[in-house]
Structure 1
Amino acid sequence: MLMEIRGTRLYVDQRGPKDAPALLFLHGGPGSGTYDFLSFQGDALSRHLHLIAVDQRGVQHSDPLEGEVTEQDLVADFEAVRQALGISTWSLLGHSFGGRLALRYAVLHPAIVERVIFENPAWDFELVTRTLVQAGLPLLRELGLDDGVEELLDNHGPMTVALWQERISAMHRLGDRRMEIYYGPNSKDLKLPADELPDEIQSRAGRFAESIIHSPGFLESLLPLLSQVPQAALLIKGGYDPVTSPTEITRFQQDVRNGCYRYFEAAGHFVHAEAADAYTSLVTSFVLDR
């Protein structure tokens, strides 16, 4: 359904028993939307949880973006959704870029967030884009598209919009083969259902991304916030994921006081799709504190 939230309409999908523990899913991208995640996990997670998924403002089935958007806007939107739905507390599940939003929200609203789950999160974009380019370099070399890419890896920051754009542009040289680096070896035939959505819906991701990468705070490393996470936290990492860097994993293990780490060796960036049953079981058990 579309909900009037802070001057726009957000698409909010609710599933499962309303009296079950609530779990908010925060999608990645930036600008990916909830359609794919719900296709793989919506019905499964909602068997025992009250699952809420929100297309961020301007994304997918929410109203097109008007004006600009920041990460702080998105966190405020989620909090407004919670209040509108009458949910007292909930847990968070952030995938990729959504892991940044989950971290911000968990630290800002410690009394509201019960537990927090991060799936292949992007907390530090200098580290994340470096890891991404390193993962793509063998395929770029194979295709003869690696000109200047090693120089991008020699640049150790500080992170800037220009460096973000250069590294992401290098990965876009792969064209239709770019998504290969996001999957584990057993998932090469995986299809993301959102690819079949109308072009007008899919195109909203570009407008959203262009706005948020220029927004205050987007390039800020959120690693210092990990030590401020008071909730029980779970980090899910795919063995072939090209996003979350080893440094980010180490910082989570060192700094989060009540954290646990689960590694899916054969999966890539989309553990929720590549190891769907095990993922459902893990997330459900963690939220229910079994």
Structure 2
Amino acid sequence: MLIEVRGTRLYVDERGSADGPALLFLHGGPGSGSYDFLSFQGGRLAKHFHLIGVDQRGVQQSDPLTGPVNELDLVADFEALRETLGLASWSILGHSFGGRLALRYAIMHPTAVTRVIFENPAWDLLLNTETLIRAAQRIAPALQLPPHEGPATTQMLNDRFRLMHQLGDRRMEVYLGPDTQDLELPADTEIPDELHARSGQFSEAIMKTPEFLESLLPLLAQITQPALLIKGAYDPVTSPEEIARFQADVPKGTYYFAKNSAHFVHAEAADAYTELVTSFLS
């Protein structure tokens, strides 16, 4: 359904008992939408939680963008959605780019968030894209990481993402483990091209903002809730440095290493993922 929030309408998919513990899923991308995650985990997690998937402002089944957007806008949207749904609090689960939003939300609205889960988060784009290119070199050894000094910049990101585009049809191999190369993401074929175009516009808009370029590693120490970091063994996004900071800085942090998965643990090891999330949130 579409729910009016802060001047736009967000597509919200609610599953499970309304009396169950509330869990908000924050998708990655930027612009991936919640469709894929719910395809793999919606039915599983809805047995235990009041699961809420939301397409972020301007993404897929939500209304298209009509103006600028940044990460703080998205966090404000989530908080307004919680109030609209009449929920006192909820746990949040952020995948990839959604891990940035989950971190910002957890520290900006600590009383609204009971627990937080990060799946292969992208907290520092400088580190994330370096890790990504290193992973891509396993497929295309000729790829060379462009030299860069200082914090992340839009030009740096563009240069590194252009390298990834050189992989062509093999790009998805980087995000999957050796035993899950045949995984298909249903949104690729089941979401209309028009809605994918919205996601592209969102991604282009948000990647130019200062908030997107900001390293969020200093924020980890401000997490007060119990937090779980899920890292796929073959994931090409979350860097060793980010894992180390999480383990050192988050007082109530738990680290889980998914040894047979890559970037999409929720799909590559779906049953184990459901059990892990359910156990942590219970």
Task: State the TM-score bracket (shorter-chain normalisation).
Answer: over 0.9
1:128 equivalent in alignment to 2:128:
yes
Partner residue of 1:200?
194
Root-mean-square deviation over aligned CA pairs: 0.9
Partner residue of 1:224?
218
1:176 equivalent in alignment to 2:160:
no
Partner residue of 1:284?
278
Q: Distance in 2 between matches of 1:52 and 1:181?
A: 29
Question: Cα offset for 1:206?
Answer: 1.3
Q: Distance in 2 between matches of 1:29 and 1:251?
A: 23
Partner residue of 1:166?
159
Question: Secondary structure at the residue paired with 2:256?
Answer: strand
Partner residue of 2:3?
3
Partner residue of 1:237?
231
Partner residue of 1:57?
57
Q: Distance in 1 between matches of 2:51 and 2:165?
A: 33
Question: Cα offset for 1:57?
Answer: 0.6
- Cα deviations by residue, 1:258-290 (Å, 9 ceiling, x for unpaired): 0000001110000000000000011011111xx
Partner residue of 2:19?
19
Partner residue of 1:98?
98
Read off the aligned partner of 1:53 and give its amino acid letter. Answer: G
Q: Is the 8 A contact 1:126 1:156 kept in 2?
A: no
Question: Secondary structure at the residue paired with 1:17?
Answer: coil
Question: Secondary structure at the residue paired with 2:36?
Answer: helix
Partner residue of 2:206?
212
Moved over 3 A (4+): none
Partner residue of 1:139?
139
Question: Cα offset for 1:68?
Answer: 1.0
Question: Cα offset for 1:157?
Answer: 3.1
- Cα deviations by residue, 1:203-235 (Å, 9 ceiling, x for unpaired): 222101111011131101000000000000000
Q: 1:191 aligns with which of 178, 184, 199?
A: 184
Question: Cα offset for 1:56?
Answer: 0.2
Q: Distance in 2 between matches of 1:157 and 1:122?
A: 18
Q: Distance in 2 between matches of 1:230 and 1:187?
A: 35
Read off the aligned partner of 2:164 and give its amino acid letter. Answer: M
Q: Distance in 1 between matches of 2:197 and 2:165?
A: 16
Q: Distance in 2 between matches of 1:233 and 1:122?
A: 16
Question: Secondary structure at the residue paired with 2:91?
Answer: strand
Q: Distance in 2 between matches of 1:137 and 1:72?
A: 34
Q: Is the 8 A contact 1:126 1:157 kept in 2?
A: no
Q: Distance in 1 between matches of 2:254 and 2:210?
A: 31
Structure 1 unmatched ranges of 5 or more: none
- Cα deviations by residue, 1:19-63 (Å, 9 ceiling, x for unpaired): 111000000000000000000000100101000011001101001
Question: Cα offset for 1:156?
Answer: 4.0
| Residues paired across the two proteins, number | 281
Question: Secondary structure at the residue paired with 1:217?
Answer: helix
Read off the aligned partner of 1:112 and give its amino acid letter. Answer: A
For residues 33-112 of structure 1, the aligned pairs below 5 Å read: 33-112=33-112
Q: 2:148 aligns with which of 155, 163, 173?
A: 155
Q: Is the 8 A contact 1:12 1:54 kept in 2?
A: yes
